[in-house]
Amino acid sequence: MKECKKCKSNEYTNKQLVMMINECGHPLCKNCVDNIFALNSGNCHVCNRVLRKNNFREQIYEDPLIDKETFLRRKLRKIYNLKQDDFENLREFGDYQERFETVVYNLVFETNVNETNAEIQAFEEKHKEQIDRNKRRLDDDQKWIEDQLREERAMKARMTDHMEMDAKEQEAASAVTDTRKIMDELRDSNVAAEVILDRERKKQIEKELEEKEEQEKRKRRNKEMLQTRKRAAENMSFNTVIRVAGRAYVHQPLELVINGPPMPNVSEIEALGYLAHIRQPTAEYIAGGYTPMLGCSRALFEARIDLFSF
């Protein structure tokens, strides 16, 4: 559950809760950010680091650590953007990647921050040319992703094209037969042409109206659905509301009317030695949950029930 550590508001008390996070990785809700950093800069409420308001970003991942890491990675990727062909052999490329991971780790867990920052700066200066050049270049993975995306888009476009074409064809077909039929009728029948045309026009208008109505109905239904869902969400309550109504429940233990001699209880059955007179169950029965007490009390109970019913 998302909760602001500062003002203790959470998702349930505030539906519009937006958590913000800054470079130190300690989340705050938007309201707190607005309050504390009204003057654009202030101290983190946890680690006292000086933070600027416009460095706050919306927290995407629940775990602030992960959020911080993805943010840092995205930032560092702009500098550490060397590709495999920038290196002489695979080993060097591997070393470079490993170093990158170390840098990320250091920054996330804030170990040797100063040295790491210095290292990044040194790296940036040293490889300035390559970095600039690589800004526009894509590596194989990115290329592959782009390809996939492109293909998907093309596929979608093709599908819609097909569907549109089909629909058009169908429409055309029906329209053609209709017009042909009308023309036939105009030629063959001896009803006045205007009457036939009028009738056909009327038909068409009716059809259009029907379609319109249908569409409106669908729209209305969708809207209603949305509204009910919204209303339900508003009415949903997570507070414990105590409703006071009616009389308080008073438990009365149930009374078992035997109408016979009193039934011995479990300890009496054991003490009086009833169990000596019942067949000892086999291991299978006991494993199944049966105890001699069960059979015994059942027989005794049935022997007593309604014995005094005259």
Partner 1 sequence: MYATSTQKREWTYTPEKLAAMRLEINIKFRQKYESVMQPDELELFVTPEEELRMQRSIEDAALKFADKFRPHIWPSVKWTALAFFKRAFLVWVPSDTSIRMVMMACFYLAMKIDEFYITIEDFVKNMKSYSVGEPRQNAERILKLEPELMKILDYNLTVHCPYRPYEGHLMDMKTRMLLLNFDLESIRRDSMRFFQNALQTDVLLLYPPSQIALAAINFGLHAQVSGKSDEILREFLRKLIGIEEDSWAHRDARPEDLEKLEKTVTRVNQIMREVDRNFVAVTEQERENHKSQLARIQALIPALDERRKEQWLAGGGVGLMPGELAEQPVDSDDEIN
Where are the alpha helices (H) located in 189-280, listed in sequence order?
193-235, 266-272
Beta-carbon contacts of residue 84 (< 8 Å; ≥ 6 apart) = 90, 93, 139
| Rounded CA separation 197/23 (Å) | 75
Among 244, 245, 257, 283, binds partner 1 (CB under 8 A): 257
Among 170, 259, 265, 291, binds partner 1 (CB under 8 A): 259
What angle (nearest 5°) sits at the alpha carbon of residue 234, between those of residues 229 and 237? 120
Span near partner 1 by CB under 8 A; candidates 6-14, 85-93, 205-213, 272-280: 272-280
The distance of closest approach from Cβ of residue 197 to partner 1 in the complex, given in angstroms and rounded to an integer, is 55
Q: Which residue has the tokens 């990115």?
A: 142
Among 46, 208, 220, 261, binds partner 1 (CB under 8 A): 261
What angle (nearest 5°) sits at the alpha carbon of residue 160, between those of residues 155 and 163? 125
Could you say whether residue 298 binds partner 1 (CB under 8 A)?
Answer: yes
Could you say whether residue 94 binds partner 1 (CB under 8 A)?
Answer: no
Could you say whether residue 302 binds partner 1 (CB under 8 A)?
Answer: yes
Could you say whether residue 122 binds partner 1 (CB under 8 A)?
Answer: no
Q: Is 41 helix (H, G, I), strand (E, B) or coil?
A: strand
Our CB check for partner 1 shows the closer of 213 and 268 to be: 268
Could you say whether residue 204 binds partner 1 (CB under 8 A)?
Answer: no
Could you say whether residue 291 binds partner 1 (CB under 8 A)?
Answer: no
Could you say whether residue 309 binds partner 1 (CB under 8 A)?
Answer: yes
User: Strand 19-21 to strand 50-52: parallel, antiparallel, or no bridges (unpaired)?
Assistant: unpaired
Q: Is 10 helix (H, G, I), strand (E, B) or coil?
A: strand
Spatial CA neighbour of 53 closest among 27, 29, 22: 22
Could you say whether residue 299 binds partner 1 (CB under 8 A)?
Answer: yes
Our CB check for partner 1 shows the closer of 165 and 272 to be: 272
| Rounded CA separation 2/9 (Å) | 9
Among 159, 272, 286, 294, binds partner 1 (CB under 8 A): 272
Span near partner 1 by CB under 8 A; candidates 25-33, 58-66, 89-97, 275-283: 275-283
Our CB check for partner 1 shows the closer of 42 and 264 to be: 264
What distance lies between CA 171 and its chain's CA centroid? Answer: 41
| Rounded CA separation 49/42 (Å) | 8
Among 8, 48, 135, 262, binds partner 1 (CB under 8 A): 262
One-letter amino acid of 119:
E
Our CB check for partner 1 shows the closer of 246 and 289 to be: 289
Our CB check for partner 1 shows the closer of 155 and 272 to be: 272
Among 246, 273, 288, 289, binds partner 1 (CB under 8 A): 273
Q: Rounded to the nearest 10 degrees, what angle do helices 140-188 and 193-235 cross at?
A: 140
Among 260, 281, 285, 293, binds partner 1 (CB under 8 A): 260
Report yes or no: 269 and 300 within 8 Å, Cβ to Cβ: yes
Which stretches of the chain bind partner 1, using CB under 8 A? 257-262, 272-274, 276-278, 296, 298-310
